[in-house]
Each structure stands twice: as C-alpha cells, then as structure tokens.
Amino acid sequence: MTYTIDEWFVVALARTIRDREVVFHGFGSPCAQVAMHVARRTHAPDMLLIEGAMYAINPDPPFIPPTSNDNSLKQGAAYSMRFEEFFDAASRGDVDRMFLSGGQIDGYGNTNVTAVGPLDRPKVKLGGGGGGCNISATIGQLTLWTTRHRSGRTLVSSCDFITDIGHVTPAGDRKALGYSGGGPQWLVTELGIFDYDGSGIARLREMWPDVTEDDVRSSTGFEFEVASDLGTVEPPSPAELAAVRAIDPLGVRRSEFDPGELQRTFEVALH
Amino acid sequence: MFLDPDKRVDLSTAAGMVADGDVVALGGGLSARLPMALIREMIRQGRRNLHVVGSAHSLDVDMLVAAGAITVCEESYVGFEQDFGLAPAYRRAAESGTIQVKESCCVTILTQLRAAEMGVPFLPVRGIKGTDMRRLHPEYAEMTCPFTGEVLVVVPPLRPDVALLHAPLGDTRGNLYMEQPYVLDEHFASAARSVVATVDKIVATEELVERGITIPAHLVRGVAEVPFGAHPASSYPHYAYDRSATGAYIRAAGTQESLESYLDEWVRSTDEAGYRDRQGSAELERLTTWSESVDAWKGLFA
C-alpha cells in the first residue's frame, strides 16, 4: 500500500494537536481543516474542534467541501458559536491552538497574508488575514504550515508586511508587546518540521525521507538552527491514513500543493 | 428605526437605497449568503465610489471592483480560498492602485461595529501592535488603560451608511430569518444607518417566529423578494453554493476585457429573472437537492 505527501503532511499537522486542546483553523486552510478532524478521530478524541468559518463545535462533516462556509461543515455539531463568541474566546485566551499559514513566513514565525512588494503598488495582493492579526497575539500556541517551502519565496528573511504575530517583530517581542499567547510552536512544511528555540527562531527538527538538509537550506530565506537529533518524520499509521481518506473524500487537501509535489509517493513499511 | 408595516420594495428600489459614495457593509461571508442580486442590480444602476466593508468575501467584492463601483475596500479577506485562489479583479485593482485597500481584521471590524452599536467613540482591541496593520489604518490610536497601565490599540466606531443582507426568509415587515453562521450580519444591522435586504421568499410572520428571527424588522428599511438572490453563493436551507457558476466567473476574469463581456452577458444586459433563465432552471434546481443525500450534496462540489 502506498500513500502520498498530502496525506502524510496532514497527519504531521494533526500530531501538533494535543488531546483536550481547544483548536481552531481559519478559512482557506484545507490541510489544517482535515488535520483537525484526523486528530479528533485518532489521538485527540476529547479536543474541542472549532470548525473554521462555521464556528461549529465538534461537527462530523460527511465530507470537506472546497469552501469553508458550508452547512456540510456543521453536520453533527450540537452547537455552533456565534462569530463574536469565538473571537471573544480567542481574545481572552480560551483557545489553545490555531493553525496559520502565509504567503511569506519569516524565521520568527511572523506571517504575511496581505501583500508581497510595496504596499501602495504590491507585486502580489494576497487575500488577507481574516482574524489572525488580532488573535495570533492571544491564542495559546500556533501551528504554522506551508506547502510552498520549495518555491524559495515563502520562507523569507523578513516579511514585506506583518499580518500575524510570530515571536519577535521589529516593534519588540511578545513580552514587550504585552501579548499573552505563546506564539508559533511548530512550522510544518512539505520539506520538514521546525520548532522554535529559546530566542524564537525556527529550528529544523525533522525532514521527510526524500528531502535533504541542503534542499531545506536552499529553499529557506532565513538562517535556522538544526536540532542535534535531526530525524525523519514518523510515518502515518494505518488508522491515521484511514482517517484522512474518510474525512476528505473530495481531496480538498491536495489543492494546497503544487502538482509536482503530489507525485511524492511512499510505501507503507511491512513489519 | 424603520417602523412602516410594509417594507416590501422591488429590487431596483432596494438597490437605489444605496447612494454613490456610501459606506456599504456586505453581509454573509465567503460562499454563503452574499447579497448577489443587490450587487448585480447596483452594477446595472452604475453605482460608483463605494467604500465596502465586510469580513471574508469573494465574488461580491470582486464583481463590484470589476464593474468599477468601488473606491475603498475594507475587508478581512477577499478571495476564493484554495479552490479558485486570489480574487482576480480585486487583485488587479489593488496592484495597479485603482482601489484603496484598507484591509482589516475580523476582530477589529467587530470591535468597531460594537462601538457604533454602543454609541461610544472608541473601544480597545487586542493584537495589532507589532503588525503592519496600522500602515493601512492611520486612524487607529494607542491608549494606556487607566486601570492596568497596559497600552492597547483603540479603534473608532464603524457606522456603515447601509448594510446589504441576504436571508433565505423574511416577512413583509422586514423581519429576517438566517441560518448560522450569521457572520457579522447582526452587528451590521445594529451599527448601520439602515439595512436593505433581499430574501429568497417572503413568508408569514408566524413562520419566522417559529424558526426564530435573526434580524428584527425595526432595523430594516426595505426588503425585496428575489428567488436565488444569493446565487451563486449558498442560501441554506434553500440552495447550496454553485461552484460551477463561480468557476465560470473565474475563467472569464482572466482579463478586464473578458470580464466586461461576462458582466454584459450575465448582469448588464438582463434583469434577475433573465439572470435565472440564463443560469437555467434545471441547474438552479440542482442546487436545492443538497438535502436529498450525502452523495447529492457532495456531488455539488465535485
């Protein structure tokens, strides 16, 4: 049996969730969205899953549609929060984890989803950050991810615009800014997985088996530390793979990847 | 407050309640409950210089930008998520400087609406410090909390001239029923100077009371009955999102020239009855089959 990088990637995102956490994803985030459901169906059955743009609590959607605001995503939820109910909870510190991505991500985990290039005449006007600008300051931990690391344009030395807060900004660190949230804990890319060291800089912890440290370095615009026990990402279990496939029959997670990346196929090891 | 016992108007009159230069709040979000019939009618009427505010939006804002109706965009997001990607007309206009982008954040907009609802001159908000958001919003300020000494960003009230909302059901007085998520619609309704609504269907007040009223009639200035008035956005429980009609817009939006042809064909050369005819009654009916089975529902997205 084989599996593909999109499936393994989603499983790696899911593993950043701990059981009994309150977890949220934004819109336009199918990988994070699928990952949250995988976590809830495997190792984190008692998490509180807040479904993106629906604000539904612990739904069991029959499939994940390619839009985040669809009634299929609140199927099976006994309760849906109001918009303000979720954002108030996030602002007062009652949400433990949020998934965040960006067109640009710097070494401190600041993200740009607003514009690449000069602000008055951007080279690329990105979509915008939803609620991230405010609540990235107050949510417990952030799992950052990107499926575009290899492009060389995503992990940058500095963001052209900071939409969402990482560990350290030009205006100071989280402590100086008075923010209660812990900031980025993980950065998962299609090349590897980073955590953050004591100074708030990304540190490479694991890579996928078909990736080298040179691949990571040549695609990364910032200097990063490498963990002394740099390892390989733990392969997905049969239960995790089954959960990915059951939750996402339409394969919306694949829409985040360059078609070339989706050719990356792996064999389930036989024990 | 709007106290007339009968607020029914036709779509043309409803869209005429928006003036050139108005600050216009758009209800719904992403692919759900967008006030698309009002958007199309404003394009037919040649509305100009709008300052549009909202949370996360897509075709509504992009089409108004394509038609040259918008001067200022103030949303937390404009785009088609990972499915169709960046918003084509919005992106071109932002990159060429023909619209002013005052991108904002969901919590900030919510807080500004709450200030307007409460009638207070500002409210504090968490976050923003350390980001570049104030480069887009020189009107924000900082203030030291008199109780804790914390320095917080404070934001002024946001009072739209008009909120354009779509609801699946309403009554002749203008009471509106919606399904969750309401997104910012309730706050838009209280904070704005007026609400102009479309509904797929006008029903008896008793039926609305049974379901629960989301927006009360006294906030609503006019209500127009327009079947499929949110199309191609969804309006549950009636119809799901029309992904293929949205895809047709995206394919046409590659250049401003082809987009002009699209607007001529689907919007400017016809009215809403003609729009529904051209979409095809079978295609529109298909969108109502979402509740028949999971496969039917899933099939709408394949």
The pLDDT score that the predictor gives to residue B108 is 98
Answer whether A91 sits within 8 Å of B78, measured CB to CB: no
The pLDDT score that the predictor gives to residue A269 is 78
* DSSP single-letter state for residue B267: I
Q: Which residue of B has its CA nearest to A172?
A: B130
The pLDDT score that the predictor gives to residue A270 is 65
Structure token digits, residue A71? 């009634």
- Best interface-test mutation with A: which of B31, B132, B184 has the largest number of A CBs within 10 A? B132
The pLDDT score that the predictor gives to residue A190 is 98
Query: Cβ of B3 under 8 Å from any chain A Cβ?
Result: no
Answer whether A130 sits within 8 Å of B56, measured CB to CB: yes
Are A63 and A250 in contact by the 8 Å Cβ rule? The answer is yes
- Best interface-test mutation with A: which of B75, B105, B114 has the largest number of A CBs within 10 A? B105
Residues on chain B touching A133 (C-beta within 8 angstroms): 105, 107-108, 127-128, 131, 133
Can you list the domains of chain B with their CATH numbers?
Answer: 11-103+159-289 (3.40.1080.10)
Residues on chain A touching B31 (C-beta within 8 angstroms): 67, 69-70
pLDDT at B133 over 80: yes
Residues 6+ apart with CB under 8 A from B58: B30, B31, B34, B78, B79, B80, B81, B87, B233, B246
Report how far residue B249's alpha carbon sits from residue B243's, in angstroms, rounded to the nearest whole number.
10
Q: Which residue of B has its CA nearest to A249?
A: B298
Neighbours of A246 (CB within 10 A): 12
Answer whether B107 sits within 8 Å of A177, measured CB to CB: no
In order, the DSSP letters of A1-67 are -EEEHHHHHHHHHHTTPPTT-EEEE-SS-HHHHHHHHHHHHTT-TT-EEEEGGGTEES---SS--SS
Residue with the two structure tokens 């952030």: A142
Q: Are strands A184-189 and A141-146 parallel, antiparallel or unpaired?
A: parallel
Answer whether A250 sits within 8 Å of B301, measured CB to CB: yes
Structure token digits, residue B268? 């400017």
A62-107 pLDDT, tens digit per residue, is 999 999 999 999 999 999 999 999 999 999 999 999 999 999 999 9
Mean pLDDT over B59-67 rounds to 98
Report how far residue B196's alpha carbon sits from residue B213's, in angstroms, rounded to the nearest whole number.
16
Q: In percent, how much of chain B has pLDDT > 90? A: 100
Neighbours of B22 (CB within 10 A): 18
Answer whether A171 sits within 8 Å of B81, measured CB to CB: no
Distance of CA B20 to the CA centre of its chain: 17
Q: Which residue of A has its CA nearest to B126?
A: A134
The alpha carbon of residue B80 is apart from the nearest alpha carbon of chain A, in Å, by 8
Interface of B with A in 139-168 (CB under 8 A): 150-151
A211-253 pLDDT, tens digit per residue, is 999 999 999 999 999 999 999 999 999 999 999 999 999 999 9
Kindly provide the ipTM of the predicted complex, given to two decimals: 0.97
Q: Is A146 helix (H, G, I), strand (E, B) or coil?
A: strand
Residues on chain B touching A136 (C-beta within 8 angstroms): 127
Report how far residue B100's alpha carbon sits from residue B248's, in angstroms, rounded to the nearest whole number.
27
pLDDT at B258 over 90: yes
The alpha carbon of residue A269 is apart from the nearest alpha carbon of chain B, in Å, by 32
Report how far residue A263's alpha carbon sits from residue A250's, in angstroms, rounded to the nearest whole number.
18
Report how far residue A139's alpha carbon sits from residue B126's, in angstroms, rounded to the nearest whole number.
11
Q: Is B79 helix (H, G, I), strand (E, B) or coil?
A: strand
Report how far residue B75's alpha carbon sits from residue B166's, in angstroms, rounded to the nearest whole number.
18
The pLDDT score that the predictor gives to residue A111 is 98
Report how far residue B6's alpha carbon sits from residue B221's, in angstroms, rounded to the nearest whole number.
10
Q: In percent, how much of chain A has pLDDT > 90? A: 98
The pLDDT score that the predictor gives to residue B115 is 98
Q: Which residue of B has its CA nearest to A83?
A: B183
Are A32 and A25 in contact by the 8 Å Cβ rule? The answer is yes
Q: Is B221 helix (H, G, I), strand (E, B) or coil?
A: strand
Answer whether B91 sits within 8 Å of A124, measured CB to CB: yes
Burial status of residue B89 (CB atoms within 10 A of its CB: 0-12, 13-18, 19 or more): buried
Answer whether A70 sits within 8 Å of B184, measured CB to CB: no
Split at pLDDT 50, 70, 90, the class of A268 is confident
Answer whether B95 sits within 8 Å of A122, measured CB to CB: yes
Q: Mean pLDDT of all residues in chain B?
A: 98
Are B178 and B233 in contact by the 8 Å Cβ rule? The answer is no
The pLDDT score that the predictor gives to residue A1 is 86
Report how far residue B52's alpha carbon sits from residue B62's, in angstroms, rounded to the nearest whole number.
11
Report how far residue A271's alpha carbon sits from residue B219's, in angstroms, rounded to the nearest whole number.
67
Query: Cβ of B295 under 8 Å from any chain A Cβ?
Result: no
* DSSP single-letter state for residue B226: -
Report how far residue A250's alpha carbon sits from residue B81's, in angstroms, rounded to the nearest whole number.
16
Can you list the domains of chain A with their CATH numbers?
Answer: 2-267 (3.40.1080.10)
Query: Cβ of B95 under 8 Å from any chain A Cβ?
Result: yes
B17-33 pLDDT, tens digit per residue, is 999 999 999 999 999 99
pLDDT at B153 over 90: yes
Residues on chain A touching B130 (C-beta within 8 angstroms): 137, 162, 165, 169-172, 177, 179
Cα A90 to Cα A83, A137, B18, distances in angstroms: 11, 9, 35
Report how far residue A31's alpha carbon sits from residue A14's, in angstroms, rounded to the nearest whole number.
9
Cis peptide before B156 (omega within 30 of 0): no
pLDDT at B36 over 80: yes
